[in-house]
Amino acid sequence: MIVLLGVVVVILGFVTRRNPVLVVGVAGVFTGLIGGMNPLEVLAAFGRSFADSRSVTVFAVVLPVIGLLERYGLREQARRLIGRLGGLSAGRFLTVYLLVRQVTAALGLTSIAGPAQTVRPLVAPMAEAAAERSTGAPLPERLREKVRSYAASADTVGVFFGEDCFIAIGSILLITGFVNSTYHQNLEPTQLALWAIPLAVCAFLIHGSRLLLLDRQLQREMALAAAEHDLPLPKGTKK
């Protein structure tokens, strides 16, 4: 019973908005010690699981490439390219990206896109440019943040609810590994991947329609902002 105090430590740290790194560190040491591990075992557990989880930090190798290209105008050029494509609104563009991200993740290609690889240099500037083109005016700061948040969400939802349809992904292997060794079963990854498809479809329908609604929201808020500042209405809005 007493080990559950570790969960309490995490919740308390979370609620009181302490530095999350510190919360995790304290909760780890605390749980290990009250769970009956001696200090050396706690240190070994920290070291061993840190070594086993290095793959989640690998995305940092992409930063120099993106940094170099941004210095030479990658984001500016991404904006210009979308500015030239007619008919593409921010919502439609992000819906297409969501679909591409889900399908590629379902084929096992989870590392090809992500916040550092594609969202910051390409997807977010393109979505902003599309929003500015279809509303016909530069976005105010608040709406710019909103478009960027939606760009990040399209990537995250896409990868989460695409990757489980692929048999060699971490989460599927974790399920089979855990169940087969703990309960002596012979679960196959393909059976699990099949059951991930219905939710992948739900995720696309729900998030896709929210992305499409983003266009109308932007249109409305731009009209409001224009009215507040007594500016001419952006083209395409009705009084």
Partner 1 sequence: MIKVEWLYWLVGLVFVVMAVQMAADRSNPRRWTSAAFWGLLGLAFPYGTGVANATAKNGGWTLPAEPLGVAVLALIVLAGFNFLGKGAPVTSTTEEREASATRLGSKIFIPALTVPLVAIVCASVLDTSGLFETGKATLLGLGVGCLVALVVGMLVTGERKLSVPLHSGRSMLEAMGSALLLPQLLAVLGSIFALAGVGTQVGKIVHDVLPDNSKYLAVLAYCVGMFLFTVIMGNAFAAFPVMTAAIGWPVLIQQMHGNPPAVLAIGMLAGFSGTLCTPMAANFNIVPATLLELKDQYGPIKTQIPTALPLLVCSTVIMAVFAF
Where does residue 175 rank: exposed (0-12), middle (13-18), buried (19+ CB within 10 A)?
middle
Least distance to partner 1 from the beta carbon of 239, Å?
29
Tell me the window of 104-112, 132-140, 217-225, 227-235 that interacts with partner 1 (CB under 8 A): 104-112
Please tell me whether residue 120 binds partner 1 under the rule CB under 8 A. yes
Least distance to partner 1 from the beta carbon of 59, Å?
7
- Measured from the CB atom, is 122 or 139 closer to partner 1? 122
DSSP structure class, residue 2: G
* Contact with partner 1 (CB under 8 A) among 117, 134, 135, 219: 117
Please tell me whether residue 15 binds partner 1 under the rule CB under 8 A. no
Tell me the window of 112-120, 131-139, 215-223, 224-232 that interacts with partner 1 (CB under 8 A): 112-120
Residue 131 near residue 218, CB atoms below 8 Å: yes
Per-residue interface string for the shown chain with partner 1, residues 126-165, x marking contact by CB under 8 A: ---------------x---xx-xxxxxx-xxx--xx--x-
Cα distance between residue 72 and residue 56, in whole Å:
28
* Contact with partner 1 (CB under 8 A) among 24, 85, 224, 227: 24
List the one residue out of 46, 52, 11 whose CA is nearest residue 28.
Answer: 46
For the chain, the C-alpha Rg in angstroms (whole number) is 23
List the one residue out of 141, 115, 123 whose CA is nearest residue 75.
Answer: 123
